[in-house]
Amino acid sequence: MREILGRRRRLRNRRKKGPDQLRAALTSAVEWGWPVLPGVGRSTAAVDGPFGPGSRAATGRSGGGDCACPDPECVVPGAHPFDPGLLAATTDERMIRWWWSNRPTAPVVLATGGCAPCAVSLPAVAAARALAVLDERDLRIGPVVATPTRWSLLVAPYGLEQLGELLFAQDCVPSSLRFHGEGGYLVLPPSQTGSGQVRWERAPLPGSAAPWLPDVEAVVDALVEASANCAPEPGLSPPDSGGGSRLAY
């Protein structure tokens, strides 16, 4: 009887925890003040497949996975806003609870820019090398979001004018860099998208305060310097990398 009661208690506590996506959305929006909204998610066929849950439908989409949006060639399957649109992103707790009560497994999409974090992203292989370089130089970085294909370093909000001046001042910027600023978005953990699981490579420190974020200048300057000064690693840099860069991809 004791074992049965203990099992019931564990199951009851598990039910009370609620979906991971809802808790992540509430943490981002309510505790940190980051506006979020549900992503489109994966198609039912991709999740359940033709042979039941867990199997995968062979639809032949070129996007690398199936998306619930109507675009058969979606390049970011399951990892973008659709309905509601990006402008609906909010920090309102009631709205967030309503969204995820209807779609409990929907990806958590952060609307970047404004008062929310921006990001600088690289392909996963290059990003892993970049973080190693930044760690060697004792550069303090903020949270890092990782997908199977790209990693994103969260930075303090910046505007297009600020970013333009920053890039103009650089002699050379690695082509692998992407910038997620005003009007952009980023999928947050623990979302599941068509390209795979989204996770924290460097998780925010626990606590109620919003995570600390570095300035974009510090991150980009360090990445560009690392790219220019680091010799290529055998088998990792393409032939046209222009002298070699550990951040090339």
* Residue with tokens 């992407």, as numbered in its chain: 178
Taking residues 1-18, what's their average pLDDT? 47
Taking residues 151-170, what's their average pLDDT? 90
Q: How many CA atoms lie within 13 A of 82 on its CB side?
A: 18
pLDDT of residue 223: 81
Q: What band does 228 get if pLDDT is binned at 50, 70 and 90?
A: low
Provide the pairing of β-strand 36-38 with 199-202.
unpaired
pLDDT of residue 212: 94
- Greatest mean pLDDT among 13-22, 47-56, 232-241 lies in 13-22
Q: Whole-prediction pTM value?
A: 0.78
Q: Is 247's pLDDT higher than 70?
A: no
Query: What are the boundaries of each domain within the chain?
Result: 107-229
What is the C-alpha to C-alpha distance for residues 88 and 91, in angstroms, rounded to an integer?
10
* Residue with tokens 């609870």, as numbered in its chain: 97
Q: Is 236's pLDDT higher than 60?
A: no
pLDDT of residue 224: 80
Q: Residue 7 in 3-state DSSP?
A: helix
Taking residues 2-10, what's their average pLDDT? 49
Query: Alpha helix locations (H) across 27-159?
Result: 44-48, 93-102, 124-136
- Give one DSSP letter per residue of 133-186, joined into a string: HHHHTT-----EEE-SSEEEEEE----HHHHHHHHHT-S---TT-EEE-TT-EE
Taking residues 149-154, what's their average pLDDT? 94
Q: What is the dihedral of CA 56, 62, 66, 71, to 10 degrees?
A: -150
Dump strand ranges (E) for 3-116. 36-38, 108-111
Q: Identify the CA nearest to 59 among candidates 69, 68, 46.
A: 46
For residue 228, give the H/E element and its range. helix 216-229
Q: What band does 244 get if pLDDT is binned at 50, 70 and 90?
A: very low
Q: Residue 51 in 3-state DSSP?
A: coil
For residue 20, give the H/E element and its range. helix 20-26
Contacts of residue 43, Cβ cutoff 8 Å, sequence gap at least 6: 57, 66, 67, 68, 78
Q: Is 242's pLDDT higher than 80?
A: no
Q: pLDDT for 48-100, tens place per residue? A: 443 333 333 333 334 445 899 999 899 999 999 999 999 999 999 999 999 99
**Contact (CB, 8 A) for 118 and 211:** no
Contacts of residue 86, Cβ cutoff 8 Å, sequence gap at least 6: 37, 109, 111, 183, 185
Chain centroid to CA 211: 15
DSSP-assigned letter for residue 203: P
